[in-house]
């Protein structure tokens, strides 16, 4: 009996040692793949791959873009950013590179899908700028990219307001720094590592909001455009919604503001009480009469 117990204990000890060894090996191999630690919102620490180091967005909401920067559009014409901010309508800015095999195209496709569901029209209510941060790209590639995305947009007549720009490294760097956009070249994959984001700009060239991801909820994009336009586009209902909703950076959407609900509830309570009191007074006067 004791012999059986002894053998059982030996098996348990052996299994435990093997388990600990596997955990150590996994941890060691993981540490060779992962780079610097990053702090998560909950305070936990995890590691980011080298390709993701120093990649992200440092939001600069309210900052004014350097509008005198010069670029080249898809027709090969020299332009300045100021040319796109002399109209009373907001601008959507997407930083990307036209040779991107995946992410940039997904962001553009997500934007187009959302715009197709809006009543707002490109060229009438807003403009779009796709700027390549790859200084080696040229206008002919920008023209091909514009053609492909206009085919997916339901209202291609607004294509004159969708601008695909290339430029020199110095001009590109100044713009990406102004909006807080951080990207880098990954030699191993021969691709750029970069964030997926749309930047909403006011008609005078100030940063209004950042929208992240490759899918954009139509209502969120619409309200972001109305907000960036400072009330110059959209319907009266859109402006009412903006007073009742606030942008939640955690979800990337507009949600009902708690204070607005409380105020609305208070106003409704006052109206109900006033109606009850007025009705009671009218009945009392009738009874006296």
User: Structural domain boundaries of the chain?
Assistant: 58-234
pLDDT of residue 73: 97
Judged against a pLDDT cut of 50, whether residue 281 lies above it is answered with yes
Question: pTM of the entire structure?
Answer: 0.68
The C-alpha atoms of residue 221 and residue 111 are separated, in whole angstroms, by 9
Confidence of residue 49 (pLDDT cuts 50, 70, 90): low
Percentage of the chain lying above the pLDDT 70 cut: 67
Both tokens of 99, joined, read 């040779």
The C-alpha atoms of residue 35 and residue 54 are separated, in whole angstroms, by 11
**Candidate from 203-217, 220-234, 243-257 with smallest mean pLDDT:** 243-257
155 vs 274, residue with greater confidence? 155
**3-state class (DSSP) for residue 231:** coil
List Cβ neighbours of 49 (8 Å cut-off, separation of 6 or more): 33, 34, 35
Q: Domain 58-234, what architecture?
A: 3-Layer(aba) Sandwich (3.40)
Nearest alpha-carbon partner for 204 in 287, 90, 77: 90
Instruction: Write down the mean pLDDT value for the chain.
Output: 78
CB hemisphere CA count around 232 (13 angstroms): 14
Judged against a pLDDT cut of 80, whether residue 84 lies above it is answered with yes
Confidence of residue 267 (pLDDT cuts 50, 70, 90): low
pLDDT of residue 25: 35
Confidence of residue 12 (pLDDT cuts 50, 70, 90): very low
pLDDT of residue 240: 55
**Candidate from 35-44, 81-90, 271-280 with smallest mean pLDDT:** 35-44
Judged against a pLDDT cut of 90, whether residue 57 lies above it is answered with yes
pLDDT of residue 88: 86
Work out the average pLDDT over 15-21: 42
Helices 218-228 + 103-116 axis angle, to 10 = 80
The C-alpha atoms of residue 184 and residue 131 are separated, in whole angstroms, by 16
């Amino acid at each position: 009996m004791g012999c059986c117990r002894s053998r059982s204990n030996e098996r348990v000890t052996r299994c435990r040692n093997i388990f600990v060894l596997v955990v150590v090996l996994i941890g060691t191999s993981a540490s060779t793949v992962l780079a610097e630690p990053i702090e998560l919102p909950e305070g936990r620490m995890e590691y980011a791959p080298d390709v993701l180091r120093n990649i992200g967005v440092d939001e600069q909401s309210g900052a004014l873009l350097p509008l005198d920067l010069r670029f080249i559009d898809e027709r090969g014409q020299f332009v300045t950013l100021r040319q796109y901010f002399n109209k009373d309508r907001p601008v959507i800015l997407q930083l990307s590179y036209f040779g991107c095999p995946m992410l940039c195209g997904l962001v553009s496709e997500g934007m187009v899908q959302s715009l197709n569901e809006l009543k707002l029209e490109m060229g009438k209510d807003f403009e779009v700028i796709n700027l390549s941060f790859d200084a080696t790209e040229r206008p002919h590639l920008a023209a091909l990219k514009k053609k492909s995305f206009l085919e997916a947009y339901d209202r291609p007549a607004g294509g004159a307001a969708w601008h695909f720009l290339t430029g020199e490294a110095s001009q590109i760097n100044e713009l990406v720094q102004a909006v807080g956009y951080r990207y880098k070249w990954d030699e191993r994959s021969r691709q750029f590592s970069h964030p997926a984001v749309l930047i909403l700009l006011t008609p005078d060239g100030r940063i209004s909001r950042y929208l992240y991801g490759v899918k954009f909820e139509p209502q969120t994009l619409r309200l972001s455009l109305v907000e960036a336009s400072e009330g110059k586009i959209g319907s009266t209902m859109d402006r009412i919604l903006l007073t009742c909703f606030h942008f939640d950076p955690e979800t990337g959407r507009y949600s009902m503001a708690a204070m607005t609900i409380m105020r609305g509830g208070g106003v409704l309570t006052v109206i109900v009480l006033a109606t009850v009191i007025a009705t009671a007074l009218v009945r009392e006067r009738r009874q006296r009469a």
